[in-house]
């Protein structure tokens, strides 16, 4: 259990704007591990794995990577801005939720996962916090799967084991440290669907150890209190996903072809299909427990999968949630201010170090220039002396030349006289 990392421990996400276009993006700052001995930060190979996977992904239901930057302390992923919030928060605001609406969102999740699995990529951290909406101001918002920090390529013939993820949503093979594959994502989809339809978490215990024990034993049931209005098709879909044996668990294509998903795709001429669809559509699921689950998951209260107390203290809980939201806003603003101060301090430290390096570099260059100048001065003086010596030599040669020329002229006249 100690192997499960804390979410967001070494990464923060901020909104940013590209100056040249004005387009807004999300900037994910991932703190780099400075040394192999350090436990703070993310190892470089893990960051590179996330970047490599994101660069390969282009799908409507998966967040898009725009660019990557790096400084001394962080790798910054410039990602598509997903501003619609979490899917569960959006659905919890509704008075009720039909299974048809639920399947529309589940199908989008399945489409994104199908694309990943077609490339032999497992997400390994599918949970409500990582299922976002591109924009929540439309009738049917588009799902976006985010956070590929734990994603891995599954290679044929290569055994892969690890203990990671969020305990509430991990598959039994992760808990039991068994070989992992794409099937782990399908288990997580089963847990997400269970919560979406009921507001209760199937395996959540009073402690992390109890949660993991429930998962390993596949200890869950469809409590009538939570699933009284849920169709048998929906329960069948969940049962076929929450299977311990990975060979018997639904594959992604089987999930997309499941009657519960297919029933809501389009009305067929077949009257039996129409009747089944109308029956399912008439079942409205109350979102009160889903709202309580989202409040619970976002608050600091100890986790619990029993919601009887919420029924009794619903009004008190709503008041507390309002106070918590106010406190959360204050905390976020404080954290934002703290982040800005730290960023300014970091920039100052980087600039100070840079100025020191530049100053030292310029001082060394100036010293070298002075040395070269002194060498040039010595060389110039030597050349001047050589020039004076050369001038004297040239004057002497010129004098001797004139003497020889006069002598030659005399000899020429004598020879001419003798010849005559």
Distance of CA 228 to the CA centre of its chain: 39
Distance CA(328)–CA(322), nearest Å, equals 10
The owner of tokens 């509704």 is: 94
Distance CA(120)–CA(170), nearest Å, equals 19
| Residue 222 · residue 242 · CB < 8 Å | no
Instruction: Tell me the DSSP string of 281-349.
Output: HT-EEE-HHHHHHHHHHHSSSPP-S--HHHHHTHHHHHHHHHHHHHHHHHHHHHHHHHHHHHHHHHHHH
Distance of CA 32 to the CA centre of its chain: 13
C-alpha distances in Å from residue 51, one per residue of 75, 78, 145, 418: 10, 11, 15, 106
C-alpha closest to that of 187 among 150, 233, 241, 228: 241
Q: Give 32's DSSP letter.
A: B
| Residue 113 · residue 145 · CB < 8 Å | yes
Give the residue ranges of DSSP H helices in 157-313: 172-175, 183-198, 208-216, 224-227, 232-241, 252-256, 259-262, 271-281, 288-298, 308-312
Distance of CA 158 to the CA centre of its chain: 25
Concerning whether 386 is annotated as a catalytic residue, the answer is no
Rounded to 5 degrees, what are φ and ψ at 264? -95, 0
Give the active site residue among 125, 206, 223, 391. 125
The residues annotated with a catalytic role in the active site are 125
């Amino acid at each position: 259990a100690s192997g499960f990392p804390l979410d967001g421990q070494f990464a923060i996400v901020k909104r940013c704007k590209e100056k040249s276009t004005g387009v807004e993006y999300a900037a994910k700052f991932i703190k780099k591990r400075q040394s192999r001995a350090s436990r703070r930060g993310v190892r470089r190979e893990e960051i590179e794995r996330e970047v490599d996977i994101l660069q390969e992904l282009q799908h409507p239901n998966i967040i898009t990577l725009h660019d990557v930057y790096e400084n001394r302390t962080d790798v910054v992923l410039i990602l598509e801005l997903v501003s619609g919030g979490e899917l569960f928060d959006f659905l919890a605001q509704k008075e009720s939720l039909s299974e048809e609406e639920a399947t529309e969102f589940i199908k989008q999740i399945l489409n994104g996962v199908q694309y990943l699995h077609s490339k032999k990529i497992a997400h390994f951290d599918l949970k409500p916090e990582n299922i976002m909406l591109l924009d929540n101001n439309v009738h049917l918002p588009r799902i976006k799967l985010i956070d590929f920090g734990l994603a891995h390529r599954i290679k044929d013939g290569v055994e892969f084991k690890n203990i990671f993820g969020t305990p509430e949503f991990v598959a039994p093979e992760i808990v039991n440290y068994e070989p992992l594959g794409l099937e782990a994502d399908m288990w997580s989809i089963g847990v997400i669907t269970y919560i979406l339809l009921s507001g209760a978490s199937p395996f959540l215990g009073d402690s992390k150890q109890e949660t993991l024990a429930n998962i390993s034993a596949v200890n869950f049931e469809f409590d009538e209190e939570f699933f009284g209005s849920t169709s048998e098709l929906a329960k069948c879909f969940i049962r076929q996903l929450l299977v311990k044996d990975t060979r018997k668990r639904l594959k992604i294509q089987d999930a997309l072809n499941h009657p519960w998903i297919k029933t809501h795709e389009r009305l067929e001429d077949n009257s039996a299909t129409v009747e089944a669809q109308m029956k399912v559509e008439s079942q409205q699921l109350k979102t009160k427990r889903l709202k309580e689950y989202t409040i619970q998951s976002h608050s600091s209260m100890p986790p619990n999968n029993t919601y009887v107390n919420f029924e009794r203290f619903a009004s008190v809980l709503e008041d507390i949630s309002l106070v918590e939201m106010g406190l959360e806003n204050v905390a976020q603003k404080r954290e934002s201010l703290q982040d800005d101060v730290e960023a300014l301090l970091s920039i100052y430290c980087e600039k100070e170090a840079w100025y020191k390096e530049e100053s030292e570099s310029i001082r060394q260059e100036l010293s070298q220039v002075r040395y070269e100048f002194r060498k040039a001065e010595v060389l110039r003086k030597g050349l001047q002396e050589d020039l004076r010596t050369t001038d004297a030599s040239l004057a002497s040669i010129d004098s001797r030349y004139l003497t020889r020329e006069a002598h030659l002229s005399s000899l020429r006249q004598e020879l001419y006289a003798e010849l005559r």
